A = this chain, B = another copy of it.
Amino acid sequence: MMTYGTVEGTARPAGRPRSAKADQAIIDAVLDLIGEGVGVSELSIEAIATRAGVGKTTIYRRWSNKEDLVVDALAALKAPLPAFPGTSVRDDLILYLNVIRQESGNPRTRCVMNIAMSEQDRHPRLAERFHEVAVEPRRAALRAVLHRGMETGEIRRDIDVEIAMAVIGGAMVWSLKSVREAKDLPEDLAERIVDELMAGLAGR
């Protein structure tokens, strides 16, 4: 964001201050459009301005670059992670997967995720920001759950945590991607994934 800092000693520039409302309207417009399935490359400043009820100049005054704008918009997308009750690792993992599943039903989240996943070749900065804002916090939370489980003995102490995280998240994401609608998946998908994972595939 390119708003002026309010650091002490920094002189506030003369003239009319920038409208925080315009800031928010622009960010919201970007997120809305992305949520409607518009790709980054197809995002037009004009469309954003129109949607935000804002002049194009107001956008160009703040961002010189479309990608900068999208990066800021992505950063504004907060990732509310539920507190894990911690009654058991199994319950925490199931909750974790169900949050992912539920979020994938939100068009905005869904499309942001699509963009982050598919355009990381063309927009590395964007993908990086998304990773930092949305992915890493979740990974950290999941990692904590697993470590706690290793301490309580619910999980083997010698598992490869990074591999386990990839397996857990990947299973849900891949399932969601394999069907048209999240509704097409069994109600208890999260439970089944976690139980299958805990038990392992190997014969007795």
Interface, chain A (partner B; CB < 8 A): 37, 39, 41-42, 110-111, 114-115, 117-122, 124, 135, 149, 153-157, 159-160, 163-164, 166-167, 169-175, 177-178, 180, 189, 192-193, 196-204
Contacts and interface: CB of A to CB of B under 8 A. Distances in A.
Contacts of A171: 163, 166-167, 170-171
Nearest to A204: B156
25 contacts: A37-B121, A39-B41, A41-B42, A42-B42, A114-B117, A114-B118, A114-B119, A117-B117, A117-B177, A120-B177, A156-B199, A156-B203, A156-B204, A160-B192, A163-B189, A163-B192, A163-B193, A164-B196, A164-B201, A167-B171, A167-B196, A171-B171, A173-B173, A197-B197, A200-B201
A124 B170 contact: no
A119 B171 CA distance: 20
Contacts of A199: 156, 200, 202
Give chain A's interface secondary structure class: helix
Contacts of A111: 121
A164 to B, nearest CB: 6
Nearest to A117: B177
Given A118-B114, A122-B37, A201-B198, A166 B156 contact: no
Contacts of A153: 203
A200 B122 CA distance: 37
Count chain B CB atoms within 10 A of each CB in A119, A121, A180, A200 and give the residue with the most. Answer: A200
A124 B156 CA distance: 42
B166 A193 contact: yes
